[in-house]
Amino acid sequence: MALAGIKRPIVVTDKGVRALGMLDLVEKALGAAPAGVYDDTPGNPNEAAVRDATALFKEAEADGIVAIGGGSALDLAKAVAVMAAHDGPLKTYAAIEGGAEKITARTWPTIAIPTTAGTGSEVGRGAIIILDDHRKVGLLSPYLVPKAAIVDPALTLSLPPMLTAATGMDALSHCLETYLAPSFNPPADGIALEGLRRGWANIRTATEDGANRDARANMAIAATMGAMAFQKGLGCVHSLSHSLGGINPKLHHGTLNAVFMPAVLAYNREAETTKAEDKFTHIARAMGLASADAVIPAIEEMTRAIGLPGKLSELGVSRDLFDRIITGALADHSHRTNPRDASAEDYRAMLEASF
């Protein structure tokens, strides 16, 4: 608390985490009850939840936020940190609305305690929120990076297999996409490849044997490393999953990333920077595969092996949503950092390949 400069925090979490008794751990660490608790975080945080939690923050006269839970709780806390300190509607601060520069140092401090190994939001500068108009947007600013993060793999031991698998594939997607992003950032590339190595080697064990502390620790490291690296940028996997997730918030973000990865990787393998730097060979090495050609089939096989669906049709997504998905993907902030400039036709081909 002293490190973050917080004396009177509210806690942002969800009812599932609270039921597991994790809020008691936070209160014990604080030495007192928090000024307020918001435990209605939805599976995909939305603008309505931001309003409600912001109202609690102001009513409690809080000076910071402790977020404990998955990426949804952490992202919601960051959005509250912005809205409790700034005026105007939430969309004002969305990156695609030019809002990044409007987020200032007045943003309230947060402490992040992840209970999943996926988003890496505990070290990220962004928060992904669904607006009232159903757009899934990113708030992006260095002022959103938590003042402190407590990454304890023991907090992920109770995570069920499907969530372990989905959040794990989210972490892997971060490592893969940021490594393929075209901007020059060798430190981020190195972190992404090491995160990929750890995550790939442990995701199946963590899913099948949730009590394996070594696998859980490596997945936690992979998630944190992926988010440290993706400040470099992501790509079409995320622009597609953000778009579809805004249309149907019941779809899990990590699952969507797993479904979209093969088609997007196939598209991005032809990017000039990807070929010039032989990036798929480096990816294959990090995954322990014999050749670059084995990367995409291995990801498809792993997705099935850990119990996730491999196609959009298995999620109940219909082709009549494609136009809306494409429109959202083209506007998403992750679209801009893909190694190839994807057109509407390119996105449609990726959707067909993922269907």
- Domains along the chain with CATH numbers: 9-151 (3.40.50.1970), 159-354 (1.20.1090.10)
> What are φ and ψ of residue 279, in 5° steps?
-65, -30
Residues 260 and 312: beta-carbon distance below 8 Å: no
Q: Are 41 and 12 in contact (CB under 8 A)?
A: yes
Strand partners, 66: 11, 111
DSSP string computed for 310-330 = -SGGGGT--GGGHHHHHHHHH
Q: Calculate Rg over the CA atoms of the chain.
A: 19
Q: Spell out the residues 6+ positions from residue 89 whose beta carbon is closer than 8 angstroms to its own.
A: none
Q: What is the model's pLDDT at position 33?
A: 79
Buried/exposed code over 123-146 (b: 16+ C-beta within 10 A; e: otherwise): bbbbbbbbbeeebbbbbbbebbbb
In the block, residue with structure tokens 């490393």: 225
Number of Cβ atoms within 10 Å of the Cβ of 315: 18
pTM listed for this prediction: 0.91
Are 318 and 306 in contact, with CB atoms under 8 Å apart? no
pLDDT class of 231 with cuts at 50, 70, 90: confident
Average pLDDT, the chain: 95
* Closest C-alpha among 1, 15, 66 to residue 36: 66
Task: Give residue for tokens 């502390």.
Answer: 213
pLDDT in tens, 154-186: 999 999 999 999 999 999 999 999 999 999 999
- pLDDT at residue 178, as a whole number: 97
* For residue 1, pLDDT beyond 80: no
| Backbone torsion region of residue 8, taken as left when φ is above 0, otherwise alpha when ψ lies between -120 and 50, otherwise beta | beta
In whole angstroms, give the CA distance from residue 347 to residue 21. Answer: 43
